[in-house]
């Protein structure tokens, strides 16, 4: 893809570079800028060694997010403040996080350390007094192969205690980085790529679609980036939807809860409206990827990835959600359960972009359940995931609807026959066995067909226990 002008601040220093919009940020940092502190481990967002911070204006202040620089494109740097491990110390003085890692023996071989420090900086820059659980969550996307987690966690607690003793004027972010924040909106935007297109409104998007039928749509680019780097896939033209504010909002309408397709997953997890109406959404997202990935990945991307085991898709399908499609011809709404035709094949035209999902009001319910079975609690793709919605009246389970991921080429939606809350669990297990016989669960590296059949039965029993109040 052709190169374009990209202007930004890097560790408080102004940079004007010419790069391909889809070049990985880690390559810009290491190869072009010579900043070797940012390490490349897995190259697909699993290990966290390449974690950096990217800051951009939100309202009247700059908000920083931690990201995996192996997943983020150079296009994201435009008009941003970028912070790497090299930008933390001020002269010979270490940042308090670096000092805490040293004093608490949080670093052994040191390969993961820069990413860990940057994850902590992202946490404490936005939250001076996190809970111990929040400290652990900030580390979910960072793998330490030397098993130094006790020292790392103690380092986070040490920073937290230090910040408690400081007055409000203390800032964990280096001052040379703070000084340039007010200059971000003054950066001259020289973006001139005709192959990487960035609409700022739906009207812009409409015009671009009309004139660029061959373009693909991108939001966080977390999946497309992996395909580019590992599989050598290239795209001739991209329309980046991430700057369209109209599809980065969450609102309650007459139809229900409307979630913009481009809002980052981490923002959905933090959203008070979502958490109050559908607390199960927070539960599901907390088990999905890591903060570095959730900070840029979007719900629209999860839907259009068309994975048969997408966590968002499984829950949304159980909620009978719909997707809003946008093209130059207008908008149309389609049920998510009708959106997938076969593996990676969707009921949408190439020139249609998913811009929102709608969750019906009548499905706001505390009687929802999400279960994910994988090899680890975070940053993992499930062997099987499922979401269940049921109504209970007069001790009868009615309108029991469930969606399963990981057992076929698409997420599977089924209605379960009415049962009593007093139904023996063995009978619920039998229903699960009958359900599994309606399709042949697939076998792959994450589990055999027989294993997945057992998981279908187990998930159904667990949903029943959780939702009927049998769980203690």
Q: Please check whether residue 99 is in contact with residue 156, taking contact to mean a CB–CB distance below 8 angstroms.
A: no
Q: What is the mean pLDDT of residues 18-46?
A: 96
Alpha carbon distance 95, 110 (integer Å): 17
Q: CA–CA distance from 423 to each of 426, 430, 434, 465, 470 (Å)?
A: 8, 11, 16, 11, 11
> What percent of the chain stands above pLDDT 70?
100
List the structure tokens of 284.
Answer: 């599901």
pLDDT reported for residue 460: 96
The count of other CB atoms within 10 Å of the CB of residue 421 is 14
User: At residue 376, does pLDDT exceed 90?
Assistant: no
CATH topology (fold) of 370-467: Enolase-like; domain 1 (3.30.390)
Question: What are the domain boundaries of the chain?
Answer: 1-187, 196-363, 370-467
List the structure tokens of 369.
Answer: 């359940």
- Among 241, 223, 261, which Cα is nearest to 356's? 261
User: At residue 430, does pLDDT exceed 80?
Assistant: yes
pLDDT reported for residue 193: 94
Q: Exposure of 121 by Cβ count < 10 A (0-12 exposed, 13-18 middle, 19+ buried)?
A: buried
Global pTM reads 0.94
The average confidence (pLDDT) of the chain is 94
Q: What is the mean pLDDT of residues 445-457?
A: 93
Does the domain spanning 196-363 belong to CATH 2.40.420.20?
no
Q: What is the mean pLDDT of residues 432-454?
A: 90
Q: Give per-residue pLDDT as tens, 77-106.
A: 999 999 999 999 988 899 999 999 999 999
pLDDT reported for residue 229: 85
pLDDT reported for residue 439: 83
CATH topology identical between 196-363 and 370-467 = no
Q: Give per-residue pLDDT as tens, 317-326.
A: 999 999 999 9
Q: How confident is the model at residue 471 (pLDDT cuts 50, 70, 90)?
A: low
User: At residue 183, does pLDDT exceed 80?
Assistant: yes
Alpha helices in 182-221 (DSSP H): 202-211
What length does the chain have? 472
List the structure tokens of 162.
Answer: 């230090």
- Judged by average pLDDT, the poorest of 166-175, 179-188, 223-232, 460-469 is 223-232
pLDDT reported for residue 414: 95
Q: What is the mean pLDDT of residues 60-85?
A: 96
**Given the DSSP bridges, would you call strands 256-260 and 322-327 parallel, antiparallel or unpaired?**
unpaired
Q: What is the mean pLDDT of residues 139-166?
A: 93
User: At residue 469, does pLDDT exceed 90?
Assistant: no
Could you please report the per-residue DSSP string of 433-463? HHHHTTS----BTTB-HHHHHHHHHHHHHHH
> What percent of the chain stands above pLDDT 90?
87
List the structure tokens of 31.
Answer: 């190869």
pLDDT reported for residue 275: 93
Q: Give per-residue pLDDT as tens, 380-399.
A: 899 999 999 999 999 999 99
Alpha carbon distance 109, 49 (integer Å): 12
Q: What is the mean pLDDT of residues 304-310?
A: 94
CATH topology (fold) of 1-187: Ubiquitin-like (UB roll) (3.10.20)
User: At residue 472, does pLDDT exceed 60?
Assistant: no
- Among 123, 126, 151, which Cα is nearest to 135's? 123
């Amino acid at each position: 893809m052709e190169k374009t002008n990209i202007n930004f601040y890097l560790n408080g220093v102004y940079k004007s570079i010419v790069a391909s919009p889809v070049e990985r940020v880690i390559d810009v940092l290491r190869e072009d800028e010579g900043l070797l502190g940012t390490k490349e481990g897995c190259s697909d967002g699993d290990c966290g060694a390449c974690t950096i911070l990217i800051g951009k204006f939100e309202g009247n202040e700059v908000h920083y997010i931690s990201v995996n620089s192996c997943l983020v494109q150079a296009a994201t740097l435009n008009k941003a403040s970028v912070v790497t491990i090299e930008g933390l110390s001020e002269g010979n003085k270490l940042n308090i996080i670096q000092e805490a890692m040293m004093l608490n023996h949080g670093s052994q071989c040191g390969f993961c350390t820069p990413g860990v420090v940057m994850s902590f900086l992202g946490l404490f820059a936005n939250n001076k007094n996190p809970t111990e659980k929040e400290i652990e969550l900030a580390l979910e996307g960072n793998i330490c192969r030397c098993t130094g987690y006790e020292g790392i966690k103690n380092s986070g607690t040490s920073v937290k205690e230090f910040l408690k003793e400081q007055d409000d004027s203390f800032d964990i972010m280096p001052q040379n980085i703070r000084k340039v924040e007010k200059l971000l909106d003054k950066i001259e935007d020289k973006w001139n790529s005709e192959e990487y297109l960035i609409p700022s409104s739906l009207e812009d998007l409409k015009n671009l679609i009309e004139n660029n039928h061959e373009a693909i749509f991108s939001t966080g680019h977390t999946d497309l980036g992996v395909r580019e780097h590992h599989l050598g896939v290239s795209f001739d033209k991209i329309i980046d939807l991430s700057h369209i504010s109209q599809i980065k909002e969450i609102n309650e309408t007459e139809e229900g809860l409307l979630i913009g397709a481009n809002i980052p997953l981490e923002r959905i997890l933090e959203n008070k409206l979502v958490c109050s109406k559908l607390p199960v959404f927070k539960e599901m997202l907390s088990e999905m990827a890591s903060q570095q990935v959730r900070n840029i990945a979007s719900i629209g991307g999860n839907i259009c990835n068309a994975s048969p085991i997408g966590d968002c898709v499984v829950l949304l399908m159980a909620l009978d959600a719909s997707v809003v499609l946008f093209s130059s011809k207008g908008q149309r709404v389609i049920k998510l359960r009708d959106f997938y035709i076969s593996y990676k094949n969707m009921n949408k035209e190439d020139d249609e972009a998913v811009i929102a999902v709608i969750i019906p009001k009548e499905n706001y319910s505390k009687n929802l359940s999400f279960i994910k079975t994988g090899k680890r609690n975070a940053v993992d793709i499930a062997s099987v995931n499922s979401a269940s919605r049921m109504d209970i009246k007069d001790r009868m389970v009615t309108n029991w609807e469930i969606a399963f991921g990981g057992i076929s080429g698409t997420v599977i939606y089924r209605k379960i026959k009415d049962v009593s809350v007093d139904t023996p669990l063995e009978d619920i297990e039998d229903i699960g066995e009958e359900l599994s016989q309606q399709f042949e669960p697939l076998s792959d590296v994450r589990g055999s067909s027989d294993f997945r059949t057992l998981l279908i039965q187990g998930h159904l029993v667990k949903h029943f226990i959780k939702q009927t109040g049998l769980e203690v």
